[in-house]
Structure 1
Amino acid sequence: MEEKVSSVNDAIRHNGEVEWQPLALTLVEYPKGDWIGKFFALISLSPFGIGAGFVALVLFRRDLHTIAFFMGTLVNEVINIILKHIICEARPLARGHLYNEYGMPSSHAQFVWFFSIYVLYFVVIRLHHINNNSIISALWRMIIVSGCLTLAVLVSVGRVYLHYHTSSQVIVGGIVGFLFATLWFAVVHRVFTPLFPHLVSLKLCEMLMIRDTTLIPNVLWFEYTTSRQEARARGRKMAALKPAQ
C-alpha cells in the first residue's frame, strides 16, 4: 500500500502537478456502511470540540482556573509530541498512508483521559462542599464525571477499532494522560490557586478582566442570580425615568 501511494506521488511530481497532503489532524475514515465505525469516527472528533469549548470559556469567562486547565491541555499535547519523537513507533499499517507522524502514544487517548481525570478531581475535590445534602447536585456531579469517563473510553476504543492506533498505543496514551492530569491538578490546586487572588489584582489582569471565582461555591448560580438582580434593578430604574402618560 505504501509503495503504491509513493509511486502515485512520484508520478504527480514528475507531471508538474501539485501534490496534495491530507490534514491528518481532522481526517477520520471509517468503513463504508459500518455505522459503528461512523459513530467512533464522530466520537474521535470530540477533542476538537472540547478545545473549541476551552477557547470560548477563556475568552468569555476569563476565569483563572479555566485558563490553568486549558494550559494543562496544551502542555499535555507538548508531552505527547515529545514522547512520540522519543519512542518513534509507527501507526498500524492500515493508516500508514494517511499519517506521517508516529503513533505511540495516542494523542486522542492522552487528551481525553487527561481531560476526564482532571474533571474527576475537580468535581470530587473542589466541588465536594457544594450542597452536600442536595440529591440533584450530587446527581449532576455523577452525570458529569460518568459522561467524561464514558467519552474517554469510547474515544480510546474507537482509535483501535478504526485502526488508527494499536491497543498498546492507546493504553500508554491513557496512562500518560491519567498521570499528567493527577500531577497538573495537584500543581494547580496546591501551587497556582493560592496565587490567584494576587494575580487578579495585577494591572494587566484588571485590563484583561481576568477573574478568580475559586471562593464562590456555585459560580453558575451566583452569575444567574447576580445578572437577574441587575436586570430587575435596571428595569425598575428605566421604568422610573419614563415620563408619566
Structure 2
Amino acid sequence: MSNYSDVVWSPVSFTHVEYAKGDFFGKILAWMSLLPVFILSGFATHIYFRREIHTIVFFVGIFVNESVNFIIKHIVQEARPIAGHTVLNVEHGWPSSHSQFVWFFISYVILFIYIRSHNNNGIMDMLWKHGMCGLCVVTGCMVSYSRVYLLYHFFNQVLWGFIFGTILGVSWFAITQLLLSPWFPFIVSWKVCEFFMIRDSTLIPNIMWFEYTTSRQESRSRSRKMSSNKLQ
C-alpha cells in the first residue's frame, strides 16, 4: 500500500461549506451556499428527461460563466479572508464564483420569465411572474450574503461576482434570444439531435398546458380504440 502521510489533500471548495458550531442562522446560510450544486443537479436532470435545446444552451452558458470566473480569479489572484476554517481554501477570492454563478442564473431566469414565458398575461400570471422573480432575487441575496457571513469572501468579492454574473447572464440571454433561437428548428433537425431526441419548444407559449392537453387527448383516443377493439 502506498504511503499517504506526505500527501497534501485539496478540497473541492465549491461544495465544501463550514459554519460556526451552534450558529443556526449560519447553518441555514451554509445550505443556501450550496444552491449552485442543487441548480447543476437540476439542470442535469431536466436535460436528461426533457431534452430541450434551450435548456442545453442555458447550461452551456453556465459553463461559459464559470470559465470566465476561473480566468479572472487566476489573473487577479486576490486572497480570501483568513477565517480559521478547518479546510483551507486554496482558490483565489475575486470575484466570488458562488455569487457570480447564482446571479448569472437569476438574471437569465428573470429575463426568461418576463420575455419568453407567455401564458395568458392575466392578473394571476403577472402576480406569478413578479412573485417568482422576487423569490429569485431574495434567494440570490441570501447566497451572496452567506459567502460574506461565513467568511469565505470579502464584500467586494461578492459584489463583483454579482456584477459579472448579471452582465454575463443578460448577455447570454440576449445571445440566445436574438442569435441562437432562430436556429433552433434547424439544429434539432440534425441527425445527432434526432438520435438523442433533442427538441425545440420555444414556439409553444405554454408548454405545460400543451403537454397536458396533448397527453389527455392521446390517452382518450387510445382508450376509445381499446374499447372498440373489445366490442369487436
> Normalising by the residue count of structure 1, what TM-score does the alignment of the two structures yield?
0.88
Answering whether residue 116 of structure 2 is matched by residue 116 of structure 1, we say no
Answering whether residue 50 of structure 2 is matched by residue 50 of structure 1, we say no
For 1:204 and 1:131, how far apart are their aligned partners in 2? 35
Equivalence for 2:209 = 221
Percent identity reads 50
Range moving further from structure 2, 226-235 or 210-219: 226-235
Q: Which runs of 5+ in 1 are unaligned?
A: 1-13
- RMSD over equivalenced CA pairs, Å: 1.8
Question: Do the aligned residues in 2 keep the contact of 1:76 with 1:177 (CA within 8 Å)?
Answer: yes
> C-alpha displacement at 1:228, in angstroms?
1.6
Equivalence for 2:167 = 179
1:92 corresponds, among 78, 81, 106, to: 81
Question: Do the aligned residues in 2 keep the contact of 1:105 with 1:173 (CA within 8 Å)?
Answer: yes
Alpha-carbon spacing, 1:185–1:15, altered in 2? closer, same or farther (3 Å):
closer
For 1:82 and 1:95, how far apart are their aligned partners in 2? 26
CA radius of gyration, larger in: 1
Equivalence for 1:151 = 139
> C-alpha displacement at 1:239, in angstroms?
2.8
Answering whether residue 108 of structure 2 is matched by residue 130 of structure 1, we say no
Alpha-carbon spacing, 1:239–1:138, altered in 2? closer, same or farther (3 Å):
same
For 1:130 and 1:47, how far apart are their aligned partners in 2? 28
> C-alpha displacement at 1:22, in angstroms?
3.2
Flag as ranges the 4+ runs of structure 1 deviating above 4 A: 17-20
> C-alpha displacement at 1:23, in angstroms?
3.1
For 1:179 and 1:24, how far apart are their aligned partners in 2? 24
Question: Do the aligned residues in 2 keep the contact of 1:95 with 1:163 (CA within 8 Å)?
Answer: no
In structure 1, what residue type is equivalent to 2:123? I
Q: Which secondary structure state, in structure 2, belongs to the residue aligned with residue 144 of structure 1?
A: helix
How many residues in Structure 1 have an aligned counterpart in Structure 2?
A: 229
> C-alpha displacement at 1:233, in angstroms?
1.7
Alpha-carbon spacing, 1:71–1:235, altered in 2? closer, same or farther (3 Å):
same
Q: Which secondary structure state, in structure 2, belongs to the residue aligned with residue 93 of structure 1?
A: coil
Q: Which runs of 5+ in 2 are unaligned?
A: none
Alpha-carbon spacing, 1:95–1:226, altered in 2? closer, same or farther (3 Å):
farther
Q: Which secondary structure state, in structure 1, belongs to the residue aligned with residue 17 of structure 2?
A: coil
Alignment of 1:72-87 (within 5 A): 72-87=61-76
Equivalence for 1:105 = 95
